[in-house]
């Protein structure tokens, strides 16, 4: 067993991982070999080989999660938006031959059709800041209690969702916890009165849709080149942490709601 201390600090490993999701590189190997090792060699003099760096990436998982939780994530203001997006790990034609995520990735159907992989559940505020997230297999329902056990820890006030979150018991459970779920109506449902302010904020759901688009198209969240589960998780966490420092975050009206649990009285 080698007992020599590693030459590359964990802070430099985290910096390299985050900077990858800010640039226009679509391949991490090309980014590391031809940008970090050549053009940025003066900033990272102790950079290791590419294969060694891939082995070191999982070692900074807890540090990256702590950094994202403390410095990256925003705070709930009483106005939140929730949505989920599919993260395919391979093409549908190769789902039976994928060995990397065997037993972990599942088949699920979203708005864009079937996919084999995972589902990312996101919660954000009206300023475009991510509050928290939850990663599940692709066949998990958006209203799953295990997902909302994570969300309710940082959530209060009103949360705006799409029609996929419609369920009477689910609405009542959240209402008893002081959370008001606001969603649209399906075509076969009876029309109900809704305050004008809720209708306006329901139209602002484009915020979380823009976040999903930035994560996939700019932060390179989705690709089919993962060779291990650990590196898949590192790519996911690094993409979310990098988004927290984007300059072009979508925003809505600057409104605040007082933090209270008064809804439990009704």
Nearest to 75 by CA among 19, 9, 130, 112: 130
pLDDT above 60 (res 229): yes
Instruction: Quote the CA–CA distance of 165 and 143 in Å, as a whole number.
Output: 6
* Mean pLDDT within 222-250: 88
For the beta carbon of residue 121, count every other beta carbon within 10 angstroms.
20
- Nearest-angstrom CA–CA distance, 9 and 2: 17
Which pLDDT score, from 0 to 100, does residue 253 have? 56
For the chain, what is the mean pLDDT? Answer: 85
Q: With a cut of 80, say whether residue 230 has pLDDT above it.
A: yes
pLDDT digits (tens, 9 = 90+) for 55-96: 999 999 999 999 999 988 999 888 899 999 999 988 888 888
Residue 266 is predicted with a pLDDT of: 46
- The domain ranges of the chain are 10-65, 75-222
At 158-205, the pLDDT tens digits run 999 888 888 888 888 888 888 888 887 776 666 666 777 788 888 888
pLDDT tens for residues 238-262? 999 999 988 888 876 555 555 555 5
pLDDT in tens, 133-156: 999 999 998 888 999 999 999 998
Residue 259 has a pLDDT of: 57
Q: Check residue 166 and give its pLDDT.
A: 82
Cβ density class 225-234: b for 16+ within 10 Å, e for less:
ebeeeebbbb
Angle at 199 between CA 196 and CA 200, to 5 degrees: 90
- 3.40.390.30, 3.40.30.10, 1.10.3720.10, 3.30.420.10: CATH of 75-222: 3.30.420.10
Tens-place pLDDT, residues 99-113: 888 888 898 887 778
Mean pLDDT of 20-41: 89
Q: Rounded to whole angstroms, how far apart are CA atoms 226 and 53?
A: 15
Structure tokens at 138: 């692709």
């Amino acid at each position: 067993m080698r007992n020599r201390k590693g030459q590359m600090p964990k802070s430099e490993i985290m910096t390299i991982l985050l900077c990858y999701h800010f640039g226009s590189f679509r391949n991490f190997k090309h980014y590391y070999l031809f940008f970090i090792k050549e053009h940025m060699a003066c900033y990272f003099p102790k950079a290791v080989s590419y294969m060694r760096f891939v082995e070191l990436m999982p070692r900074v998982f807890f540090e990256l999660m702590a950094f994202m939780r403390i410095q990256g994530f925003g705070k709930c203001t009483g106005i939140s938006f929730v949505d989920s997006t599919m993260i395919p790990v391979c093409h549908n034609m190769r789902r039976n031959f994928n060995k990397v995520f065997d037993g972990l990735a599942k088949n699920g159907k979203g708005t864009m059709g079937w996919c084999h992989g995972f589902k990312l559940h996101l919660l954000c505020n009206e300023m475009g800041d991510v509050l928290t997230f939850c990663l599940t297999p692709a066949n998990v329902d958006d209203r799953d209690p295990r997902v909302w056990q994570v969300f309710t820890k940082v959530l209060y006030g009103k949360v705006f969702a799409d029609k996929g979150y419609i369920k009477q018991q689910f609405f009542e459970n959240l209402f008893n916890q002081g959370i008001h779920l606001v969603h649209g109506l399906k075509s076969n449902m009876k029309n109900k009165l809704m305050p004008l302010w809720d209708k306006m904020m329901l139209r602002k759901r484009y915020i979380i849709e823009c976040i999903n688009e930035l994560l996939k198209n700019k932060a390179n969240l989705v690709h089919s080149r993962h060779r291990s589960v650990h590196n898949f998780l590192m790519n996911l966490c690094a993409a979310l942490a990098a988004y927290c420092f984007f300059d072009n975050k979508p925003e809505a009206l600057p409104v605040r709601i007082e933090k209270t649990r008064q809804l439990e009285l009704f």
